Amino acid sequence: MKNVLLSAVISATLGLTALPSMAKDVDLRMSWWGGNGRHQVTLKALEEFHKQHPDINVKAEYTGWDGHLSRLTTQIAGGTEPDVMQTNWNWLPIFSKNGEGFYDLNTLKDE
C-alpha cells in the first residue's frame, strides 16, 4: 500500500515538472486527504520537487478523510479550489459529469 501511495504522490508531483520554466515565482496549492503517513510522504515529495524547481512554490493543504469531500465541494463552488488536488475516482462525476473538468497530470509525465 505504501508503494502504491508513494507512486501516486510522485506521479502527481512529477506532472508538475512539465510546467514551463518561468521568469518569476509561481505559487500553487495542492490538496489531499489521508493519515499522517500519507501526509509525510507527500510533504517529502513536495520538498524534493521544490529543490528541483525553486521557482515553483506549492502550498500543502491536507486533511483527514472526514470532511475532505465537503471542503472540496465548498472550494469548487466558491472558485477557490486548489490548483492540484487528490480526489477519489467516484467523486469525479460530482464535480464533472463527463470527466473533462479535471486535467489528468499523468498525461504530462513523459514530457
In the block, cell 525553486 appears at 54
The whole-number pLDDT of residue 19 equals: 54
Pairwise CA distance, residues 51 & 53, whole Å: 6
Note the maximum CA span of the chain.
39
Which residues lie closer than 8 Å to 11 by C-beta, 6 or more apart? 105, 106, 109
Question: Phi, psi at residue 65, to the nearest 5°?
Answer: -60, -45
**Average pLDDT over every residue of 79-84:** 94
Pairwise CA distance, residues 32 & 38, whole Å: 9
pLDDT of 105 strictly over 70:
yes
The whole-number pLDDT of residue 5 equals: 44
Contact 61, 29 (CB under 8 A): yes
CATH superfamily of 2-16+24-108: Periplasmic binding protein-like II (3.40.190.10)
The pLDDT-based confidence of 100 (bands split at 50, 70, 90) is confident
Domain boundaries, the chain: 2-16+24-108
